[in-house]
Amino acid sequence: MIEIETTNEDGERAKSDVPMAYVKDLPKFVTGLLNNYHDSGQLTWHSQHIPEDEIWLKIGGDHGGGSLKLSLQIANLSRPNSKHNTVIFNIFEAKDTRKNLEIALSPYCEQFKQLNGQTWHGKHLRIFLFGDYDFLSKVYGISGAAAKFPCLWCHASKFQIQKDPESREYVEGRTLKTLKRDHRQFVEKGQGKIENAGAYHNAIHQPLFPVHINRVCPPYLHILLGVVKKHHVMLERECHELDLLIGGHALMTEEESPDAEFGEYILRSREIQKREKKEKKLSTLLEEMEDNTPLAHLELQENKLQETLKKLRKNISRKTQENKLKERKGPVTSNLDKLLNSHKIVPQAYHARSFVGNHCKKYLEPQVYEDLCRSITTIACKMTKHDGTLLRAYWIRDVYEELNRKFSVVHKLISHDKPIGREEIPTIQKKIKEYMSFYRRKFPSSSVTPKMHFLEDHVCDWINTWGFGLGLHGEQGGEQVHATINLLKRRVWGVKSDKMKYEIMLKEHHMQISPCVQSVLPVPTKRVKNS
């Protein structure tokens, strides 16, 4: 059991003991794992794209299912990023706060250094780090994506990343040395106060991982999730504005709406409009009254009219409030949800409507984004004949189709785990530039997010240095281990000691991913649906 700091019901800091199970001697464990992979003939150097005298070892972490898990992967396997090749070496029933990461990672600091120089059968081990951006930021001690200096790989500020890289002033890259220097100054000159962090490149803690930043893989899975979500949220907003325009124009005409629910909204809007006209008439009448009414009657009539006006204004205000077109309820926007559903893409209600990785990949298939974009003009043409509104609908269709097309080209080039030759990099750089320039040109008031910056400034450097798509070094496998542990949890529910539970789960997990066990397991076959 490990003591951690928590907050109690009153928000006060408290200490509590939580279970942790871990591999004590990581270098020995890795050697054993490599021996097993070697004996079962699974090691590969990906046609010499990993130098033949090197073994690439990935270390990473993620929080999920109530526990923080540190895991490792050997990249010298045919499917290195599969969950079957992701080995948990520390599981800790705690949140992924910086403090808890210190508890989990600190004992390994020396072991990581040892592993980094270790040889196995004359081959050098090279360590990489993977994880989502929040994890990577905490491990290297920076404030994270919302900070003034949000990037782990360079000192570009959140203002500088808005500009095209070519029109930006020189930006220094981060290294372990600059992180330590900035943190020292933050403590000495900035007195360690968070409000001063921006003056020291947001280096608020010491790095916990003793490995150079150029071995930290840009988290492509999360870049993908962030970009696709941003595209879709922007598209929904545009469509909502379009629905409001359609509604506004319908008020000017007497045409009936073909959409029943939207038709009700229009009818209610027309009622409000009638009341507004009446209110205008009465206001004018009140202004004219002084000139036309004999003094003896003026006060009484004026009071009566003012009372009627007051009631009317109150009524208009209430009705307008009640009749607001809710987001995603207009005909164009609500149809987007129906189409996503028909393509079996489900926004995750409990994760701010993000899509999971596989749904993002599906979203970037032409049949999906074309279907979504083209539905906008189809529905708009049914709902209105107003030229300006239809022109807006065509603009949204064309721009979002192109935006998704440009990003899907980039996605296909970089998301895989296959080797990428140096000669392919100029094409990748060009496609990323085309996507980002299009985004900046068409959406000048939308910001470039840190994830877009990693894509624009650091992905090609990574591929150029290591020669693989981001799927090889990325965080996918580390995200999938939670489901494995959740299944194991059910098996140990009868065990009384929490500590014991975690130890059994870790041992069982090691048994399951053991190369010897894997080699005798039947290959799962895909179920074929009966037609």
- If the CB atoms of residues 69 and 451 are measured against Zn ion, the closer one turns out to be 451
What is the per-residue binding string for Zn ion in 107-146, x denoting contact by CB under 5 A? ----------------------------------------
Cβ neighbourhood burial of 318 (10 Å; 0-12, 13-18, 19+) = exposed
What is the per-residue binding string for Zn ion in 156-195, x denoting contact by CB under 5 A? x---------------------------------------
Contact 100, 68 (CB under 8 A): yes
- If the CB atoms of residues 23 and 156 are measured against Zn ion, the closer one turns out to be 156
- If the CB atoms of residues 347 and 450 are measured against Zn ion, the closer one turns out to be 450
Q: How far apart are alpha carbons 181 and 215 in whole angstroms?
A: 20
What is the per-residue binding string for Zn ion in 318-357, x denoting contact by CB under 5 A? ----------------------------------------
Q: Work out which of 153, 209, 265, 369 binds Zn ion, going by CB under 5 A.
A: 153
Which of 153-161, 192-200, 248-256, 360-368 is the region at the interface with Zn ion (rule: CB under 5 A)? Answer: 153-161
Residue closest to 59 by CA, chosen among 40, 41, 33: 33
* Window 201 to 240, contacts with Zn ion (CB under 5 A): none
Q: Work out which of 77, 101, 104, 151 binds Zn ion, going by CB under 5 A.
A: 151
* Window 445 to 474, contacts with Zn ion (CB under 5 A): 457
Total binding residues toward Zn ion, as defined by CB under 5 A: 5
Compute how many other C-beta atoms are within 10 angstroms of the C-beta atom of residue 443. 15
Paired with 154 in beta bridges are 173
- If the CB atoms of residues 151 and 481 are measured against Zn ion, the closer one turns out to be 151
Q: Work out which of 4, 154, 213, 393 binds Zn ion, going by CB under 5 A.
A: 154
In whole angstroms, the minimum distance from the beta carbon of 156 to Zn ion comes to 5
In whole angstroms, the minimum distance from the beta carbon of 414 to Zn ion comes to 16
Alpha helices, H only, 384-424: 387-414
Which of 154-162, 187-195, 346-354, 481-489 is the region at the interface with Zn ion (rule: CB under 5 A)? Answer: 154-162
Q: CA-CA distances (angstroms) from residue 152 to 346, 411, 451, 463? A: 31, 22, 11, 17
In whole angstroms, the minimum distance from the beta carbon of 200 to Zn ion comes to 17
Q: Is 245 in the site for Zn ion (CB under 5 A)?
A: no
- If the CB atoms of residues 223 and 266 are measured against Zn ion, the closer one turns out to be 223
Residue closest to 385 by CA, chosen among 264, 249, 480: 249
Which phi and psi (to 5°) does residue 153 adopt? -95, -15
Which residue has 């032409």 as its token pair?
Answer: 366
In whole angstroms, the minimum distance from the beta carbon of 450 to Zn ion comes to 8
Residue closest to 463 by CA, chosen among 454, 475, 476: 454
- If the CB atoms of residues 156 and 383 are measured against Zn ion, the closer one turns out to be 156
- Reading the block at residue 187, the tokens are 């403590």
Which of 150-158, 236-244, 292-300, 407-415 is the region at the interface with Zn ion (rule: CB under 5 A)? Answer: 150-158
One DSSP character per residue, 57-112 reads EEEEEEEETTEEEEEEEESSSSSTTSGGG-EEEEEESS---HHHHHHHHGGGHHHH
- If the CB atoms of residues 89 and 200 are measured against Zn ion, the closer one turns out to be 200
SS3 assignment, position 431: helix
Q: How far apart are alpha carbons 334 and 224 in whole angstroms?
A: 24
In whole angstroms, the minimum distance from the beta carbon of 35 to Zn ion comes to 39
Compute how many other C-beta atoms are within 10 angstroms of the C-beta atom of residue 376. 26
What is the per-residue binding string for Zn ion in 411-450, x denoting contact by CB under 5 A? ----------------------------------------
Residue type, 223: I
Write out the residues near Zn ion by the rule CB under 5 A: 151, 153-154, 156, 457
